[in-house]
Structure 1
């Protein structure tokens, strides 16, 4: 007898919402396919009519609305309500970037007139997507995180970087900064003081973070759904094998790999802070001390979420739809070995990693595991006890 597949409420549509321009977004395409294949009428806010999301055969309707992130939040909320008012029923609202998630949470009472969305403390997503707030949550709840400093002027910038040691990681402080006034283009690895001073013109807009050397690090991904009662189900874990730019950028190649201890730690944090809804967490295992250190907490659907599903076809966006439409979320273990590849970026990432094939640490899977990475790319994967 086959496994019963997840059944969604087809009478409830979904709207994918984004802020800013990023037309090639795997998470949005994955959400359209996942919900659309389950019979849900999926709508999406898109930059134009020719993005991969807009052209998906599983999309019921595209809403062309190019945003920049420079708009007044009230303008964005009003635009969302206009779209929601044209839908046939209250829709499940699915933010696909941090800015959208922060905006939706802060205005959830107004948006509830047209949309179904998780009830959450209005300022919590901003405090998790923002690096200063995330660091404070980690300290308050005894969650390991790389040593972090918040310079306010050029003198502190130089002093803190020397204290942490080079190379040092530089990040924008708040999610809206990357659209409105980015100091750096994204997570940036800086190898010397001269480059740091040239790069950072506004020290108060960035943080500095200690770098865990790639030969002593493994990058792990956790995607989960936190229900209103605080239970996190499902919780998926996977290993990030390549990124672009190398070792500091977005995931280009990853593999689903069960890590029960990391799943429990992620769920514990969500319960402790009262988080509700889908989340995408990035952890770095520091092999020097054996601790998983939280690097990022994205309070929304992650770009790689379709790498993960249970045996009955449950993924994070389907869990969101089930919960908000009053249906139970079925239990089940994740399917092992599923892969995620961002092909348009992984070509460059593969070449970069291959050029460093002589390094002590190479991405891969547990020795002897079926379906391992390209030939010769293996390393020991440490998992906590089950």
Structure 2
């Protein structure tokens, strides 16, 4: 039987994986602990709702349940879409690899992306530019210039409690208040304080990497995100030539000995012209389906490599755009009211969109499902 893929998470990111593989005839099973849209795709073979996917035990139990329910899944490739699922698969790779192919890097790689303290330490060691970052152990270590941001070293320990990636502090008093709020949620040792880089120049280097070297890559400008200040997810993205981030990204991935799909997020600092490394995502990213429209079908490339097939090298075309209207439009309304965006400028970006995160004329049901699920998604995960 031809091997298929188990996709952990059925939101628009998981939908992108299902469509990527399904177009090539790869059967898929979507496993999720939420109501989601990917099972509605014409290319989704089956779906399974499980009680949870948050902990390591949840992920192992979900895969065991999938084997018991459907059978015949030996050798199927497991695609994670959330950081905590990547960590679970990596930490238990030896156990899970007896039955599955694990499309996630080894734990030594994931650990560097999972814990931002490790991310910034490696960046400093390699000379990769990053925002100035402090690691205060208590309230007495807050002699830090504002404006600054308070953020977690390990996102999952913070995000599910706050639905925020970071908090902005414009004064010393705000910094102390946010630090104390964070300390009530996560251990003090996991709290980072980072300088606030001005401007909105958000960029990324995306790649399929093998033995630390990129086989296929894409560089993008993340023009808009939701929310606008410290976005949980991009809403409008375009491929652009970006040689300035290619070499530092390659050096970082080479030092990690990386394998798999990865996104490195940067912000252009207008004060010195450097692209500063913000984050490393050791998995598919929200707009990975932009790659297929630009000539780099990331999920399918990883699948081919997992089953031992040849993987051609590729670079994305420039000038290709991606949007997620369900979050981009509401966010734009907020920004228009606040005077951060002009209506004409925003409308011009909507012309000639190459691919939408969910809606597709060839696969319309997920788009209709998303409209029906919008109230649920707004409450459950803030979209």
Q: Sort the TM-score into its range (normalised by shorter chain).
A: 0.7 to 0.9
Structure with greater helix percent: 2
* Matched residue, 2:366: none
Task: Confirm or deny that 1:213 pairs with 2:189.
Answer: no
Indicate which of 18, 34, 38 corresponds to 1:53.
Answer: 38
Q: Secondary structure at the match of 2:329?
A: helix
1:109 and 2:94 correspond: yes
1:169 aligns with 2:153: no
Which of 263, 266, 270 is the equivalent residue of 2:253?
A: 270
- Aligned residue pairs, count: 341
Q: Secondary structure at the match of 1:302?
A: coil
Q: Is 1:284 the equivalent of 2:275?
A: no
Ranges in structure 2 where 5+ consecutive residues have no aligned partner: 352-383
Residue 198 of structure 1 corresponds to 177
Deviation at residue 265 of structure 1 after TM alignment: 2.6
Contact 1:47 1:66 in 2 (8 A): yes
RMSD over aligned CA atoms reads 2.8
- Cα deviation, 1:66-108, whole Å, max 9, x if unaligned, reads 3162x4x245324323424624431111110111111111111
TM-score (norm 2): 0.80
Deviation of 1:196 (Å): 3.4
The aligned counterpart of 1:330 is 312
Residue 159 in 1 paired to residue 135 in 2?
no
Give the Cα–Cα distance (whole angstroms) in 1 for the partners of residues 36 and 190 of structure 2.
32
Distance 1:116 1:77 in 2: 14
Find the residue that maps to 2:349 and give its secondary structure: coil
Question: Structure 1: 5+ residue runs without aligned partners?
Answer: 1-9, 365-370, 376-386
The residue that corresponds to 2:281 in the other structure is: 298
Q: Is 1:248 paired with 2:234? A: no
Q: Deviations over 1:115-164 (max 9, x none)?
A: 112584423312212111111111122111100111211222x323xx3x
Q: Which residue of 2 aligns with 1:127?
A: 112
Q: Distance in 1 between matches of 2:203 and 2:325?
A: 20
Provide the secondary structure at the position in 2 that maps to 1:308: helix
Q: C-alpha separation between the residues in 1 aligned to 2:44 and 2:154?
A: 32
User: Shift in Å at residue 285 of structure 1?
Assistant: 1.2
1:234 paired with 2:216, answer yes
1:226-245 CA-partner distances (Å, limit 9, x unpaired): 11x33212111110111122
Distance across 2 between alignment mates of 1:230 and 1:206:
29
Contact 1:14 1:43 in 2 (8 A): yes
Match of 2:299 among 317, 336, 341: 317
